[in-house]
Amino acid sequence: MDSTQKVAIITGASRGIGTGLVTAYRKLGYAVVATSRSVDSTDPDVLAVPGDLSRPGTGADVVERALNRFGRIDTLVNNAGVFIAKPFTDYTDEDYDAVAGVNLRGFFDISRSAIAAMLAHGGGGHLVNVSTSLVDHANSQLPAALTALTKGGLTAVTRSLAIEYAARGIRVNAVALGIIRTHPAETDEALAGMHPLGRMGEIDDVVEAIVYLEQAGFVTGEILHVDGGQSAGH
SS (H, E, C) 76-106: EEECCCCCCCCCHHHCCHHHHHHHHHHHHHH
Gap between the Cα atoms of 166 and 127, Å rounded: 12
Alpha-carbon distance of 173 to 70, in angstroms, equals 24
pLDDT at position 85 is 92
Mean pLDDT of 74-103: 96
Q: pLDDT, tens digit, for every residue of 137-188?
A: 888 888 899 999 999 999 999 999 999 999 999 999 999 998 887 766 646 7
CA distance linking residue 150 with residue 135, whole number of Å = 9
Distance, C-alpha 38 to centroid of its chain: 17
Residue 81 confidence (pLDDT) above 90: yes
**Helix 203-215 and helix 16-27, axial crossing angle in degrees, nearest 10:** 40
CATH class of 7-232: alpha beta
Average pLDDT rounded to a whole number, residues 48-69: 97
Q: What long-range pairs does 29-34 form, CB within 8 A, spacing at least 24?
A: 29/5, 30/5, 30/6, 30/74, 30/75, 31/1, 31/5, 31/6, 31/7, 31/70, 32/7, 32/8, 33/7, 33/8, 33/9, 33/62, 33/65, 33/66, 33/69, 33/70, 33/73, 34/10
pLDDT digits (tens, 9 = 90+) for 93-122: 999 999 999 999 999 999 999 999 999 999
The closest alpha carbon to 144, from 103, 195, 105, belongs to 103
13-58 pLDDT, tens digit per residue, is: 999 999 999 999 999 999 999 999 999 888 999 999 999 999 999 9
Residue 2 has pLDDT above 70, yes or no: no
pLDDT at 183: 60
Q: Say what the pTM is.
A: 0.94
Residue type, 20: G
